[in-house]
Amino acid sequence: MAISNAFGTTVSEENPTDSTNPDGTKVVSDFITVASLTNFSAMTGAIATAWGALRQVSDTFDGNWLPFTACMLFALVSVIASKPGKNVSLWAPATFIAALNALTLFGAVIGATAVAT
């Protein structure tokens, strides 16, 4: 199994944010589908751990900008890797869902870090 398939969902070309189509023809990132709202615990742990490690290295990383930036970059990479197509009407929902997921992921990272310290 390719690593790109580990975090991908098959969707239809017409609606790349709907992961309920089992006969889809396109693989997109799980991060831009509606179902991904409940599927981000691995990224929460990864970003929280990386942030915690960097905080041990330098006090420069004590602020919340590092995890916020990491979450937003992950959303951006997910949208670009999913290639929703040339139609702007397909990019808008994918970008909105990815941004919402990034903010949710950011909140989870902050919460997980607060509980761990």
Q: What is the Cα–Cα distance from 112 to 48, expressed in whole angstroms?
A: 7
What is the pLDDT, as a whole number, of residue 70?
Answer: 93
pLDDT for 18 beyond 70 = no
For residue 23, is it within any domain?
A: no
For residue 22, is it within any domain?
A: no
For residue 7, is it within any domain?
A: no
For residue 111, is it within any domain?
A: yes
What is the pLDDT, as a whole number, of residue 77?
Answer: 84
41: CB partners within 8 A, 6+ apart:
108
For residue 69, is it within any domain?
A: yes
- pLDDT-derived band at 1 (thresholds 50, 70, 90) equals very low
- pLDDT-derived band at 54 (thresholds 50, 70, 90) equals very high
Q: Tell me which of 107 and 26 has the higher pLDDT.
A: 107
Mean pLDDT, residues 24-50: 73
For residue 43, is it within any domain?
A: yes
For residue 5, is it within any domain?
A: no
Range(s) of the domain holding residue 41:
30-116
What is the pLDDT, as a whole number, of residue 83?
Answer: 74
Long-range CB pairs of 47-50, under 8 A, 24+ apart, other chains included = 47/71, 47/74, 47/105, 47/109, 48/109, 48/112, 48/113, 48/116
Q: What is the pLDDT of residues 65-103, one digit of tens each?
A: 999 999 999 889 888 877 777 777 778 888 888 898 899
Q: For the chain, how many structural domains are there in total?
A: 1
For residue 79, is it within any domain?
A: yes
What is the pLDDT, as a whole number, of residue 67?
Answer: 94
Mean pLDDT, residues 54-74: 91
Q: What is the full DSSP assignment across 27-89? A: EEEGGGSGGGGG--HHHHHHHHHHHHHHHHH-GGGGSSHHHHHHHHHHHHHHHHHH---S-HH
Q: Distance of CA 98 to CAs 50, 57, 70, 73, Å?
A: 21, 30, 13, 10
